[in-house]
Amino acid sequence: MTEKLIIFDTTLRDGEQSPGASMTRDEKLRIARQLERLRVDVIEAGFAASSNGDFEAVRCIADAIKDSTVCSLSRANDRDISRAAEALKGAANARIHTFIATSPLHMEKKLRMTPEEVLEQARLSVRFARNLVAGVEFSPEDGYRSDMDFLCRVLEAVITAGASTINVPDTVGYAVPELYGNFIKTLRERIPNSDKAIWSVHCHNDLGMAVANSLAGVKIGGARQVECTINGLGERAGNCSLEEVVMAVKTRKDYFGLEVGIDTHHIVAASRMVSQTTGFVVQPNKAVVGANAFAHASGIHQDGVLKARDTYEIMRAEDVGWSANKIVLGKLSGRNAFKQRLLELGAALDSETAINTAFTRFKELADRKSEIFDEDILALVSDESVTPEREHYGLVSLSQHSETGERPHASVVFTVGGQEVRGESDGNGPVDASLKAIEQHVRSGAEMVLYSVNAISGSTESQGEVTVRLQNSGRVVNGVGADPDIVVASAKAYLSALNKLQDKSDRVAAQG
Ligand code: KIV
Ligand code: ZN
């Protein structure tokens, strides 16, 4: 029988650690549902002890998800582990993923612990976790830069203590494929009880090799779990990308000889959902999920593809869900059809009020735009005004005037905690004027570190999707807004970012 490669998705934990990518509980739940549709084996839902918000997110996901194992990260201490176990109580299959750093640099400078203290804490934590849940995973943080002899001792001890998965992180993205693959192989050969655990790879992308390193860990090292994120989302240059690793193993089954349980037809929808929720835009030439990944732009390619598609295509666009990119609903579609499409897209809204608000927005959009695509619907449900209980700032109306040779002027009416206010300002352009009009009232003092506009579905009829990244007192947040009018989309994105800055809930950093 063909061996299985376990896909462990950490978009909601390691992906979320990317500055500005933090998600609300409901956003995380929506993505978790999409990951379950993708048939991801393990969903790392968060880091329960890091904040009350993350505890709630892990708890909700554990209660809702039945087909995938739900996992919480936890530092190697009893308090964190108890908190993770409590959040996971409702899970059909629960896993605690506990970690402690093992590299000389991290132990000395960050933990200020001796290697023997680290070994003992790792062992005791795994034993404690194993008494609370059946599935315990252990990660030696910065494992790849750890001393081999010491790492062997730690990993042997935690397997004896009950860890059933051993994950070897390349925390800082320093590895190269052959060396990383051999590193895992050596660990498995030298540790006497290594066959009692499943070996896992966790690679960061600082040198652009996260996918290659993970695949080498599988092929050379014999790892049977890959930790990855949708779109490769993650801190700095990100994590190993789920869609790339899955499609590599599927497309080159002749080489890897492994099965993956992922239903690849939901990949593109998952990619869009993560990008629209976090505001992290997918680059057009990104493998598998980039807008150009299957576009045969050059004449030679087009000719070849028309004659025989495998002249230039190694995967079928439909197999990863690109065929979903079609007109799905129109002006005459009813509420039931709309609700059904939300369900199919894995974007079901929980309350009837939210569905009604989203449906009204859909009708308004359909009046302005004849063709409604899946992307439009996903953008619509990502819009915070659909769940107004989360909204401190909300857009009411916007008017602006711009003319060649004149300085643009904008007037924006928006709500602040339910009260309507109006801001007016000039600016370099209509977007600048509109955002200045808002800032005039709010006085957030935040610095804008990114502003980007993206056409959701390609043509000038498309909705513009705007991402605004704000930084204030060390916090970075992303706001996303979509509208056929990009000035309105910009105002929505700005208000969305201000809403996130407003939410002051602090977190403990996983690798802090
Ligand atoms: O990169 C890393 O080391 C991690 C661990 C917490 C597993 O994300
Ligand atoms: Zn990581």
Q: What is the DSSP string of 433-482?
A: HHHHHHHHHH---PEEEEEEEEETTSSTTSPEEEEEEEEETTEEEEEEEE
Identity at 344, one-letter amino acid code:
E
Kindly give the number of the ligand 1 atom that is closest to the alpha carbon of 204. Answer: 1
Q: Mean of the pLDDT values across residues 138-161? A: 98
Percent of the chain at pLDDT exceeding 70: 93
Ligand 2 centroid to Cα of residue 465, in Å, is 29
Q: pLDDT tens digits for 14-38? A: 999 998 898 989 889 999 999 999 9
Q: Which of 171, 227, 507 to mutate to test the pocket of ligand 1 (most atoms within 8 A of CB)?
A: 171
Q: pLDDT tens digits for 261-289? A: 999 999 999 999 999 889 899 998 999 99
Q: Mean of the pLDDT values across residues 388-398? A: 84
Residue 141 Cβ inside 6 Å of ligand 1? The answer reads yes
Q: Mean of the pLDDT values across residues 377-391? A: 69
Q: Mean of the pLDDT values across residues 400-409? A: 95
Least distant ligand from the CA of 142: 1
Would you state the pLDDT for residue 343?
79
CB 23 within 8 A of CB 278: yes
Least distant ligand from the CA of 235: 2
Would you state the pLDDT for residue 325?
44
Would you state the pLDDT for residue 295?
66
CB 183 within 8 A of CB 168: yes
CB 477 within 8 A of CB 467: no
**Confidence check: pLDDT of 509 > 90:** no
Ligand 1 centroid to Cα of residue 275, in Å, is 22
Q: pLDDT tens digits for 210-246? A: 999 999 999 999 999 999 999 999 999 999 999 999 9
Would you state the pLDDT for residue 227?
99
How much is the mean pLDDT over the chain?
Answer: 91
Q: Mean of the pLDDT values across residues 293-308? A: 66
Kindly give the number of the ligand 1 atom that is closest to the alpha carbon of 239. Answer: 1
Percent of the chain at pLDDT exceeding 90: 71
List the alpha helices (DSSP H) in 177-315.
Answer: 177-190, 210-219, 242-251, 253-256, 267-278, 299-307
Q: pLDDT tens digits for 428-478? A: 999 999 999 999 999 999 999 999 998 877 678 888 999 999 999 888 888
Would you state the pLDDT for residue 390?
64
Residue 202 Cβ inside 6 Å of ligand 1? The answer reads yes
Q: Mean of the pLDDT values across residues 284-300? A: 79
Rg (alpha carbons) of the chain, rounded to whole number: 24
- Nearest residue by C-alpha to atom 1 in ligand 1: 171
Higher pLDDT, 388 or 92: 92
Least distant ligand from the CA of 138: 1
Is residue 379 within a helix (H) or strand (E), and if so which, with residue range? helix 374-382
Would you state the pLDDT for residue 324?
46
Ligand 1 centroid to Cα of residue 169, in Å, is 6
Kindly give the number of the ligand 1 atom that is closest to the alpha carbon of 10. Answer: 8
Would you state the pLDDT for residue 287?
97
**Confidence check: pLDDT of 506 > 60:** no
